[in-house]
Structure 1
Amino acid sequence: MIKLLTIIGARPQIIKAAALSRAVKSDFKDRVKEKILHTGQHYDAAMSQVFFDELGIPQPDYNLGIGSGRHGEQTAKMISGIEEVILSEPFDGVVIYGDTNSTLAGAVAAVKQHIPVFHIEAGLRSFNMAMPEEINRIACDQISSILFAPTRTAMDNLRNEGFLDIETRFKNGKKRQVFNSGDIMYDNSIYFAKFSGRTKILERHSLQPNGYILATVHRDNNTDEPSRLESIFKALLHISNENNIAILLPIHPRTAKLMPGNLSAGLYEKIAHSKLKLVEPVSFLEMIELEKHAKLVMTDSGGVQKESFFFEKPCLILRPETEWVEIVTHGAGILADADFDKIVEGYKTLSEIDVTFPRLFGNGKAAHFILERIMAYSAE
């Protein structure tokens, strides 16, 4: 029996953790004991607690309650809190997800105590060092014992950076291992899609299947820069008016807070009387239902980009680059950034072309693959 500490702190990590916890419970309960630590990075109930309740994730064994703050301040508090936990009881490994400050803190705290770090979603690269997430993911890859890459492109990134060749060794002489595990979010999307229809969210917002656009905007470079936020919402309003189509936008607390000050008064007033439906944050099952039935998805979220692909929906990406380059190179997504003309033209293009959606993200059994590899590593 091995004991793992899973580190979560942000909404996407809570969702990803559901797949691993489900696999532990169904097929590894006699071999793996999992404890969950929530850093409290996302502490809003609508952005955090609801996902534990809805997805059946075990309640955290530890909750640090860190909350928001400057990057350095927040990460330092997390490292200290996580270190206290891993010194309080023995763990055979720490599982981290993605690229948040919680991810970085978990990796640093564990590796300093010579506890193996298992990085799920390794190898992703935007090649934009202005993104805090890019710094976090690169640092975590460097200090992790096993890198679980979700796609072939992520594996190529790790290969190009020498991860498959460098003889890095950790405690007891164990070498770093690198695998293409498939995407753990694909596991979840397949599993939870069968339950999403129970939410009745389409009826609640008077939406018809394939008769609306789903949009999300939350990244700080979009929300915090008035010119970018103005351009995005101006384009959404134009597309909605010109095509007589509703746009549903579950509004992130950060975006809701900044919109009144960062949008011009005229545009803000027009939005209030348009077919843009700004609603409270939705649950994961509700989001799946919205993605399944949207005509098209517009987002600056990496996770939503993938989910749109899982449910075979074209995606307009409101960023200048993406870690999920497969979506763009395959033609299922277009990088529009926060450029009004690119957003409008991108919508027109994606509305007119036929897109196929091959299996680029694995076979839906990433969690089982990951646990098997962790078990093998621990037995060495």
Structure 2
Amino acid sequence: MKIASIVGARPNFIKLAPVHKALSKNPEIEHTIIHTGQHYDFEMSEIFFKEFKLPKPDINLQVGSGTPGYQTGEMIKRIEKELLRSSFDLVLVYGDTNSTLAGALAAVGSRTRLAHVESGLRSFDKRMPEETNRVLTDHISDYLFASTRMAVGNLRKESVQGRIIYSGDLSVEIVDEAVKAGAKSDVLDRLSLEYKSYVLLTIHRVENTTASPHNLATIIKAIEALKDTTIVFPIHPRTLQAIKDSHQLAAISRCQNLKLIKPLGYVDFVRLAHDASKIVTDSGGVQKEAFLLKVPCITVRQNTEWVETVSLGWNKLVGSSDARAIAEAVQKWMPARKKPQAVFGQGKTSAIVRDRIVSMLLQDQEKPERRKP
């Protein structure tokens, strides 16, 4: 049984790790890792393979940077070529990155069955590239592994053609392993930080960086307003470039309360998140990690795909156009509930994905070849 995982960005690598481990336990499965090269520097790519003890990708397409259209188009061409060459039984894609959509479209083009891990999430905001990637991938997938019951409901409402499987979310087992490994991390010592003495900040979405210098300036103003609060900011390359391009480097340099650092490996990042007093982010993955770590999260977006984190009171949406609202949330807001509810499964998602893939592929062996695109 030949299965190919298509990955290319930090969130993909993180989700790949437990699935690869689970697939490797079945000797009947030949698992090939195809790296698109969407993220290609050490901090955003190679370090995750090392930390999660993943093998070197079998194929690296080295697409590199470029506009979203160029990058996605190049990935589709190169992935499809590999799929046609090797005759895989199934393509696995993860999450909502450009590599996710490119892998999905290439699978359809090569008539290869497609499974989407972390399907059914919806922010209902089509301005977000990630939302487009999610919706399109779900509607062309044969097997859809949904993280939550709400995600299952979204897929049913949209009448997707593929099989819907409630699997829980991979992050439960990923975060659990990272917390255990993070006990040995010295990241707080390296940054001269004390437990719960700082706020962790992550900003990377297009809506808060390249597409809106105003939103970026607002977030910087909120940092300035929080002058008595230590803020740790592992900065994404896109965000750093957006700060430079919008001539805001001087403004952020004046923030004496800010520790601006390079992107971290996942274990160090989870340790930093676990020990933070609060987290401010625009990342979907970080919202979910904060929830699992029981750390209050403030999201600088108008909406979220992880609606459960908001409805259960551990995530507050404040947008990114009002510096005062962001600062007040950091200073005053706390979750109403003492402990988040378990809504992301029981930490067995990777095994569920493996076992259901095997059973469904065996069932489908006698069926006609995958529909033409």
TM-score by length of 1: 0.92
Where do residues 118-133 of structure 1 align in structure 2 (5 Å cutoff)? 118-133=115-130
Q: Distance in 2 between matches of 1:325 and 1:349?
A: 22
* 2:14 aligned residue: 15
Tell me the distance in 2 between the aligned counterparts of 1:180 and 1:44. Answer: 34
Partner of 1:183: 169
Report the AA paired with residue 221 of structure 2.
Answer: K
Matched, 1:375 2:358: yes
Unaligned runs of 5+ in 1: 169-175
Secondary structure (helix, strand or coil) at the match of 2:333 reads helix
Equivalent positions of 1:1-380 (< 5 A) are 2-25=1-24, 27-28=25-26, 30-163=27-160, 168=161, 176-224=162-210, 225-239=212-226, 241=227, 244-262=228-246, 264=248, 267-271=251-255, 274-338=256-320, 339-351=322-334, 353-380=336-363
**How far apart are residue 22 of structure 1 and its match?**
1.4
Write the deviation string for residues 194-237 of structure 1: whole angstroms up to 9, x where unpaired.
Answer: 11122200010111111111110111211122211111111122
Query: After TM superposition, what 4+ stretches of structure 1 lie above 3 angstroms from structure 2?
Result: 263-266, 351-355
6 and 269 in structure 1: CA distance in 2 versus 1, 3 angstrom threshold:
closer
In structure 2, distance between residues paired with 1:260 and 1:76: 28
* Aligned partners of 1:82 and 1:109 also within 8 Å: yes
Q: Deviations over 1:97-156 (max 9, x none)?
A: 011111111111111222110000101111111111111111110110000110111111
Task: Please say if residues 232 and 260 of structure 2, whose CA atoms lie closer than 8 Å, have aligned partners that are also in contact.
Answer: yes
**Is contact 1:8-1:96 (8 Å) kept?**
yes
Q: How many residues align?
A: 361
> How far does residue 322 in structure 1 lie from its aligned partner after superposition?
0.5
Q: CA deviation at 1:263?
A: 5.3
Q: CA deviation at 1:352?
A: 7.2
Structure 1 range deviating more: 184-193 or 299-308: 184-193
SS across alignment from 1:198 = coil
2-side partners of 1:352 and 1:179: how far apart?
A: 31
**Contact 1:229 1:263 survives alignment (8 Å):** no
Change in 2 beyond 3 A, CA 1:277/1:109: same
Q: For residue 218 of structure 2, what is the amino acid of its counterpart?
A: S
**Per-residue deviation, residues 44-68 of structure 1 (Å, max 9, x unmatched):** 1111011111110111100000011
Please state how far the C-alpha of 1:77 moved relative to its aligned partner: 1.0
User: What's the offset of the Cα at 1:266?
Assistant: 6.1
**Deviation at residue 264 of structure 1 after TM alignment:** 4.5
SS at match of 2:34: strand
- Give the C-alpha shift of residue 73 in structure 1: 1.6
The AA in structure 2 aligned to 1:315 is C
Q: What percent identity do the matched residue pairs reach?
A: 40
Cα displacement (A) at 1:74 = 1.3
Q: Distance in 2 between matches of 1:304 and 1:269?
A: 25
Equivalent position amino acid for 2:205 in 1: R
CA separation of 1:265 and 1:217: change in aligned 2, threshold 3 A? closer
Give the 3-state SS of the residue equivalent to 2:303 in structure 1. coil
The one-letter code of the counterpart of 2:21 is R
User: Distance in 2 between the 1:209 and 1:20 partners?
Assistant: 32
In the aligned structure 2, how far is the partner of 1:141 from the partner of 1:279? 36
